[in-house]
Amino acid sequence: MQKAEGIARVFDMSDDDDSTEEIVTEEMLWERIPETQGLDRANTYYELSARIYARGQYDEALALAETARDIYAELGSVVPPDGLAQAYSAIGYNLNQLKRMSEAATAMSKAVAILRESKSPLAIDLACTLGEWWFSSKEYEKTIECMKQCVQEHLVDSNDSGAANDLHLIGCAQRELKNYGDALESFQEARVLFKKIKEVINVARCDQKIAHCLVEIGDGEGALIAAQRSLDVFVTAHDHYRETYSLLELGKAQIIAGQGEEGLNTLDRVLEIATDNESKDFEFILEIEGRMADVLQTLGRVDEADEIRRRIKAVEEVVKEE
């Protein structure tokens, strides 16, 4: 719901279906401001904000949305709850476009709270957007709290796809917090729902993350099974980007399961893919190389391990320099 038309559609305050509203120009809206008061004035500022958002002028659109919010707030109970909510959501969308993610999430949380209090059916969609924004802001506890409520609402509505996506995001947040047991449970629940509605790629995405969690808690055999399942899907789908990460989890699982040589060979395949890309992700490459060095050390190939670590150190001096 990143588009201006989405905001206008969701938060259209007018009960008037007269198609003549569609031909009101931006110039006419500006001229209307001195002639209006109260709710009409707030709605005019909001509509201007939506028009200017659509042009990509987010700073100006933000200022207009904030003005609309102030007027709605001053009017108090005489304004339908959706009025203030629409202004907060518009503020949130503009802040999001300006990459002010934490502020965007804070504004959107106010819109969601207002809509939930009024039992508006519009609350759930904005709440899901809010959860994504909290995650982008690295507010993982808030992400989990927000999405848990979304899961319940989607399940009540028999919206398995919505609930599955909610659970997947919860799992990602829990994984960031290193709560691997809780993350594993969330990904497994999401997988059940994705499988039920036959979303093959999303099932595999869950399997890849399940493998990651199992690696972290030391279940090499379980991680092998999950990683291989995800890899099979991505290879079949020719999804090379996701295939790489499934290979990484497979290699890590093989190492934990005591298959050092196999794991080393798998990580070498991942490294080959990563270094073939024109744009090098050095942090990813260093992670793979570091794991390979650890395996070589375990296998008694100390000189090779030391050589890799020497090279890693040279790159780290550049990559990690503040």
Point out the least confidently predicted range of 7-16, 24-33, 259-268: 7-16
Whether 186 has a pLDDT exceeding 60, the answer reads yes
- Band (pLDDT 50/70/90 cuts) for residue 267 is very high
- The pLDDT of residue 316: 85
Q: Which two tokens stand for residue 173?
A: 């947040």
Q: How is 251-294 classified by DSSP, letter by letter?
A: HHHHHHTT-HHHHHHHHHHHHHHHHHSSS--HHHHHHHHHHHHH
| Nearest in space to 189 (alpha carbons), one of 169, 175, 173 | 169
Whether 20 has a pLDDT exceeding 60, the answer reads no
Whether 2 has a pLDDT exceeding 50, the answer reads no
Cα 140 from chain centroid? 11
Q: Which two tokens stand for residue 10?
A: 């969701």
- Band (pLDDT 50/70/90 cuts) for residue 124 is very high
- Band (pLDDT 50/70/90 cuts) for residue 19 is very low
- Band (pLDDT 50/70/90 cuts) for residue 8 is very low
Whether 170 has a pLDDT exceeding 60, the answer reads yes
Where residue 218 falls (left for φ over 0; alpha for ψ -120 to 50; beta otherwise) is: left
Tell me the pLDDT tens digit for each residue of 280-308.
888 889 989 999 999 999 888 999 999 99
Give the three-class secondary structure for 321.
coil
Cα 173 from chain centroid? 9
- Band (pLDDT 50/70/90 cuts) for residue 196 is very high
Rounded to the nearest integer, the mean pLDDT of the chain is 89
* CATH for 222-317, options being 3.30.70.1450, 1.10.10.410, 1.25.40.10, 3.30.160.110: 1.25.40.10
- Band (pLDDT 50/70/90 cuts) for residue 22 is low
Tell me the pLDDT tens digit for each residue of 98-118.
999 999 999 999 999 999 998
Looking from the CA of 70 toward its CB, the CA atoms found within 13 Å total 7
Whether 12 has a pLDDT exceeding 80, the answer reads no
- Residue 189: count other Cβ atoms within 10 Å of its Cβ: 19
Tell me the pLDDT tens digit for each residue of 27-54.
888 888 888 899 999 999 999 999 999 9
